[in-house]
A and B are shown apart, each in its own frame.
Chain A
């Protein structure tokens, strides 16, 4: 019986699609790639794409222009790549429509505009197969532009979960198949469910959403349940402020997540999967819905996948904007159409989850980690990492670093490597103060602990957590009391209100920290905060409440001096807390240009043109607008 066109029901169909995909990935004519992830779009990638298309039409160039996802080089967005057959792929950073047109015009004459090039990529490993996508046979150089392997940002990375991000066109099923869906074929046609679980056990993979529960164990629990139907859920409710790993994966490589989920469905005997994704991520929703439709049309979802008796469906549920729904029992309540209030565990969702049935909930990244483990084996995965934390983990390295980026590193790497080598250190003139990991449930780690290795246990001991992967670097311009206040405000807002300890405790903690930042703190406030923090942690039901005091407790542990400066000296050492600072103009530096006068919305800056100006502190609202525009840096914050 011949399959419908486009249907992928056999190994030979898979190979044909892979061959089509390879031709798209390495076409015989030159190809220009534009990174069209959310970050790219926010910096104008759409206009760049448009400009390139128009210029190519005008010049009648037989080149291809294609969208790709995000390779994680966030500080260089918008990114454009030029790929001539047989030569390395050249990456250009911080492009704009004007530069892009110029670039296109130079290409027919072989002018690669190396001044805008930021990196050269000769090939890219595919961890699923162990083969390399080779753009160029020789490690040719382009006018001294560094190869990716020589760039510190990429040198230390091992991109397994993010293997296709920025490499393939996320809207092309064929391009994904050139690098994937082989694991699904292998699992369905050659592995028993218990063999899949055994590989996961060997891999040592732990949940990438933050808590780090062994994935193999979770799958086994669900697989053993007698009750049916069973469900698998992809938790893409990435609510941690300062984290966008899951968004990038869904936007740049949605099929890797679907493939992991289908393998999970087969292994655990589930017939339905749900991707629960934040509605604040509209592009991720579009991409995952597009990928679902493609997989359905190809028969990779639906009945009799790969001609086996296994059938599976996946649907998308959009979150409605509640941080607590990242907690698995709250997420289930939300899917069921109720308010997202967590409930007591046990019973765990593995026993009684969605509609009271066995349910496996894993994070986006965990699902994306599955295909390479199935193809290469658990032992292969476990070769990287530490004794108890195996494999790789994606992180969003943002804040006060030279190269904000989305990175993936082997577990066990040190924080120092991440901040100083990959992140390029702190921008000039500033010094490192802390790195915050794990979002609102995490903590701030000081410089003295920078040599700490990144694994589940070490971070816990330091009072932080692995979390889903946000890493916010803070320099000496961040006030740690203000940071604690920030997280408390967030959590007090997002507390679902079910437990008294969390609902009221966080509010009281916020009041106390707020009055400390306003110079109204009392000597015993610090002890009170510690007491309250302990109470909230011990008396709350879910992960949100139980970890909510971490930002306060960790800053109290490592930055107590800053709290004391606010309480005793009524001083904010980082000059952040508005009630404790004043703006002044240094008359020796001020050239009287008047830029500050023009931007001051409170008419608080006085002075004649070309004469030193002064700030009227009675009127100044400390908005900082003048700081932004003062060229001679004459405005001081005291």
Chain B
């Protein structure tokens, strides 16, 4: 039972009721750590008798899971259709340039994770992005640096 402390930190709202509890459990791990640490996955595998292979299969199939550590702030740039026709790709490119990144992913200092998402469902406000819980509508490239700076300063305060 050496693995229990790792799992103890995860508030298991639903008790384990077989395979159907796997995805909700992984979602809780993801929301706590912002990624799925390998030792937690191994612990889940041992504890609930689910082959690690099956867990990784699920974890790599669904977009909401990440096997890599993520940044403090999650920047999700909507690339839904309405956003696309209003220049969302250029917004995403601008964010990457501002953060000095060649492609989507996590900044070296783990301040930001930038990723595209397919539709946050606020299409009338296109183009939009969501940073953590907050949604920004009617985006323009010129607004991007200020928004990022705001979150950057939050990271610095925390540090």
Contacts and interface: CB of A to CB of B under 8 A. Distances in A.
A336 interface: yes
Given A77-B125, A398-B123, A323 B133 contact: no
Interface string A324-344: 000000000011111110000
Contacts of B136: 42
B39 to A, nearest CB: 21
A328 B135 CA distance: 30
B93 A396 contact: no
Interface in B16-65: 18-24, 26-27, 57-58, 61-65
A399 interface: yes
A120 B121 CA distance: 27
Given A334-B23, A336-B20, A321 B82 contact: no
Given A239-B119, A281-B121, A337-B23, A624 B65 contact: no
Contact of A474 (B85, B126, B138): B85
B90 interface: yes
Given A38-B135, A398-B126, A599-B142, A472 B81 contact: yes
Interface residues of A, number: 61
A31 B45 CA distance: 54
A601 interface: yes
A562 to B, nearest CB: 15
B152 interface: no
Nearest to B58: A339
B128 interface: yes
A546 to B, nearest CB: 20
A296 interface: no
Interface residues of B, number: 48
A161 interface: no
Given A280-B117, A320-B65, A338-B19, A39 B85 contact: no
A74 interface: yes
A599 B94 CA distance: 11
B81 A623 contact: no
Nearest to A279: B64
A623 B135 contact: no
A337 B122 contact: no
A168 B90 CA distance: 39
B71 interface: no
Interface string A36-50: 001101110000000
Contact of B137 (A43, A322, A487): A43
A400 interface: yes
Interface of B: 18-24, 26-27, 57-58, 61-65, 79-87, 90, 93-94, 97, 117-126, 128, 133, 135-138, 140-142
Contacts of B23: 317, 320, 334, 337
Nearest to B126: A398
Contact of A242 (B19, B57, B81, B97): B81
A242 B80 contact: yes
A334 B122 CA distance: 25
Given A239-B119, A242-B81, A625-B142, A39 B62 contact: no
A404 B87 CA distance: 17
Contacts of B94: 601, 623, 625
A241 B119 contact: yes
B128 A42 contact: yes
Contacts of A487: 81
A629 to B, nearest CB: 6
A544 to B, nearest CB: 13
A488 to B, nearest CB: 12
Given A241-B79, A400-B85, A335 B118 contact: no
B62 A320 contact: yes
A247 interface: yes
The winner among B24, B64, B79, B85 for most chain A CB atoms within 10 A is: B85
Contact of B124 (A39, A340, A623): A39
B129 to A, nearest CB: 10
Given A477-B85, A624-B90, 5 more contacts: A38-B120, A39-B124, A244-B122, A337-B21, A439-B81
